[in-house]
Structures are given as C-alpha cells and as structure tokens.
Structure 1
Amino acid sequence: MKIEWYGQACFMITSENGTKVLMDPFNKMLGYELPEIEADIVSTSHEHKDHNNVDAVKSSFILINKLGTFNEKGIEIKGVETFHDNESGAKKGKNTIYNFKIDGLNVCHCGDLGHILSEEQVKEIGNVDILLLPVGGGFTVDASNANEVRKQLNPTVIIPMHYRTKALGILGLIFAKVDKFIKVSGLKSRDFAELNVNKENLKEYEGIAVLDYK
C-alpha cells in the first residue's frame, strides 16, 4: 500500500489493487491545501470541520462515519468509540478510531483522540501494524499521552499527525512540534515523502515515519 499525508489528520491510502481510502479530509480553514481528489472510501472520525470535509472528494465514494464493523471493497474496517477529550467527551465530544485491514496489514487512524485508551478500547481496536497518531496536543493527546497510546497498541510503525508545521502558520502555535513526541518515545525516526509498505517490508520501517504533507 501507499500512504500519503495531506496534513492535519488527513491521509490517503492506496491499496495494492488501487482502492483509495481517504481519512479525515479538512476544509480551507487550515494552512494545508487539499487538491481535487478521488477516493473509493472516505472515513471521518468526528464532525469537526477540519476532519469531515467530504465535499473535497470529486468522485462517488462509500462514507464511513459510524461505529461498528464494515467490509467495503475487500477492506475490513472497525470503528471504535473514543473521545475528543479526557472527560468522556464532556468538552469536545466523541471521536471514532478506525482500524482498517488493507493488504493484510492493520492501519489504525486515531482521529482526534484526546485520552489514553481503556483496556476495553485497546481490546476492541485489536492488532495494529501501522498507527496514525495525533501527537501535538492542544486539541488531542500531547506527546506524553500519545506515547502511552503507542505503547498500548504496540504498532510496528507510527506515523505522527496533528502537530505544528510551517503550513499552519500562526495557528500551528496551538500544537507542539513532532520532535517532542520523537524525544519522548525514544524511538528512531525517519522522514519520507510517502510510505510504500507491505507485509514483507513492514519491519524495514519500524519506528516513527514522519511524512511530508502533500
């Protein structure tokens, strides 16, 4: 599969057979820009405008925005209820973590997760090979709590998201830089334009993969 990051919490994953899965597309309020894109499946973790801009998709698609298990175009998807804050959603509402089984690998997108997971949530999410994890704090878990979530889910590869970049301009001051998470984790990190990963080469990318935003 090919994994591309468009900024914030938005990723495009293209499977080996060409199926495109878009996660948490954002609107124009951010410094990032979404190109005109097409996708077969679109998931949204919650209904905030920087995560649910499905109008950006210029094709017909299957929308995944609910809890439960789904099988669409050969991709198994599980949506698990979590929260946008550490007060059971009292401040910022609910958040859905989606675990996608694509090309035999489990890719877990945490959306705007705001808390360390419960044992029940960890069990429900299940096995994770690649973790798309918010690390910048502000509106999500910070570097320290993100590292705890990383330990809970124990992925082979972690791709950070939702942190300060130059594209965000002054808005980025709300978030910490990715370096803070890397330091707290103690894991090796490497930079990539995109990730081309499969079951055979997964171990080659072990650790933190910092993606350039498209």
Structure 2
Amino acid sequence: MKIEFLGHACFLLESSDSKILIDPFLTGNELATKTADQIEADYIFVTHGHDDHVGDTINIAKRTGATVGAVVEVAKHLFTPVGIKTLVGNIGGKQETPYGSVKFVPASHGSGVPGALACGFVLEISGKKIYHAGDTGLVAEMQFLADEGIDVALLPIGDFYTMGPEDAVKAVEMIKPKRVIPMHYNTFPAIQQDPHAFKQAVEAQNLCEVTILNPGETLEI
C-alpha cells in the first residue's frame, strides 16, 4: 500500500482496492501540493471538528461519494445534515470495513463540536496497521497501542496545539511502531519544527525508523 502525505495532518492511504483520506485540509493550506478537486477517495476519516482537519471533507465527499468516518457528534453536527454517508463510532470502538477495519482511539485535544471527543484512528488496510494520532498531547493510553502491532504511526510534532518533538519521542517509546512519519508541523508560524531533529532523537534510541515526507511525497510499505 501507499501512504501519501498531503500536508499538515492529511494523508491518502491507497491499497489495490481502496483510497482512504484522513483530515483533508487542502484549501487554505499553503503547503498543500494538491487541490481538493484532484483527490479521489472511498472513505474520509476526520479526527475532530477543527477547520484545519475537517478542511475539504464535505466537498470531496459530495463529489466522490465517499463515506465519512467520525465520532458520533462530529458526524451528526457536520456531515449528516448535508446528506453525506457516515461511518460513526466512538473511543474504543472497532468496525470492519470493505478495506479492512478502523478502531477509534483516544486523543487529548478539543474537538470544536459540542459534546464531541477528538480521536485518533488505527486503520488496518491490506494487512498493515496505520495509526493516525490526530491532534493530541501525550496520553497514557498510547502504551496500549503497542499491543496493536502498528506498522506506521503518524504523529504530530508541532507543539503549541499538540505534543511537541520531545513528547512525540515518548509517544514512540510507548506505541512501539515499526516506523513513524511526523506530521502537523510548519503549516503555521506557531508550529515551526525541525523534523530532522525529531528523527535523530528517535533513531538515536533505536526506537524505530523515521520517514520524513514532504507534502506530495509517498511511502510504499
């Protein structure tokens, strides 16, 4: 499968039979290398209700017919009223899907929607497990993700709104993934970070491989 970084916290996961988009903030993101009308998707997963994560979800879903996955309150507040198909869940819940499965996991962050929790996702696609942390600080629940056997963890390192590089290294220690891709940095002045310093810190402890993707770049696993 292929993992394409589209900037900020947006990734496109592509297997032989499905395209799964996460947090599609493209319009208004100066680092994005693609526009919303260039994206095809079967599923779109949204970690929480802030604008830089909901992004172009509605426009892409209406154009492609994609199903949108989100916690119940986010789905009911943002997507169901405009006629979008949804896959709703909540923290701890796992659902089988045509491409594999999705598990909603804890994140520590505001959601932007009354009563809603922010979340991350563990997506199993083509036998690979991808963890997208969403916007989050360091949380103790991350230690239980070690039991999932995560192949690739997508972790925020920007600080200010989420955990920064030092806490992200601690997250890697708890999650024990095979590989990490840093995200949610350098989009705005407040979250400027050097991903190479994060990579050096992780690899100095022999925790796992770190792959730095620029927007538009792809990793095949």
What is the TM-score normalised by the length of structure 1?
0.77
Change (3 A) 1:64 1:122: farther
Residue 123 (structure 1) aligned with residue 166 (structure 2): no
Change (3 A) 1:157 1:56: farther
Q: 1:73 aligns with which of 67, 80, 98?
A: 98
RMSD: 2.4
Tell me what 1:8 maps to: 8
Alpha-carbon distance in structure 2 between the residues aligned to 1:46 and 1:145: 21
Q: Which amino acid aligns with 2:107?
A: T
Tell me what 2:160 maps to: 138
DSSP-derived class of the 2:107 partner: strand
What is the correspondence of 1:1-214 to structure 2 with a 5 Å cutoff? 1-15=1-15, 17-33=16-32, 34-35=34-35, 36=37, 37-53=39-55, 54-57=57-60, 58-66=63-71, 67=90, 68-84=93-109, 94-114=117-137, 116-119=138-141, 121-123=142-144, 126-164=148-186, 168=187, 171-187=188-204, 207-214=209-216
- When structure 1 is superposed on structure 2, of 153-162 and 29-38 the one drifting more is 29-38
DSSP-derived class of the 1:181 partner: helix
Q: CA deviation at 1:84?
A: 1.6
1:4-59 deviation line (CA, Å, top 9, x unaligned): 000000000001x2300000111533213342211001101100011012024130
1:44-93 deviation line (CA, Å, top 9, x unaligned): 110001101202413011111022212221321000122127xxx9xxx8
Identity percentage over the alignment? 27
DSSP-derived class of the 2:52 partner: coil
Alpha-carbon distance in structure 1 between the residues aligned to 2:59 and 2:25: 8
1:167-198 deviation line (CA, Å, top 9, x unaligned): x4xx334332212312322359xxxxxxxxxx
Alpha-carbon distance in structure 2 between the residues aligned to 1:174 and 1:160: 12
DSSP-derived class of the 1:71 partner: strand
Change (3 A) 1:96 1:28: same
Q: Which structure 1 residue ranges, 5 or more long, are not aligned?
A: 189-205
Q: CA deviation at 1:212?
A: 2.0
Alpha-carbon distance in structure 2 between the residues aligned to 1:81 and 1:211: 25
Alpha-carbon distance in structure 1 between the residues aligned to 2:189 and 2:199: 18
DSSP-derived class of the 1:145 partner: helix
Tell me what 1:203 maps to: none
Is the 1:25–1:56 contact (alpha carbons within 8 Å) kept by the matching residues of 2? Answer: no
Which structure carries more helix by proportion?
A: 2
Change (3 A) 1:187 1:61: farther
Q: Which amino acid aligns with 2:2?
A: K
Q: Which amino acid aligns with 1:175?
A: Q
What is the TM-score normalised by the length of structure 2?
0.75
1:96-125 deviation line (CA, Å, top 9, x unaligned): 1100011111100001112x2214x53267
Q: Which amino acid aligns with 1:213?
A: P
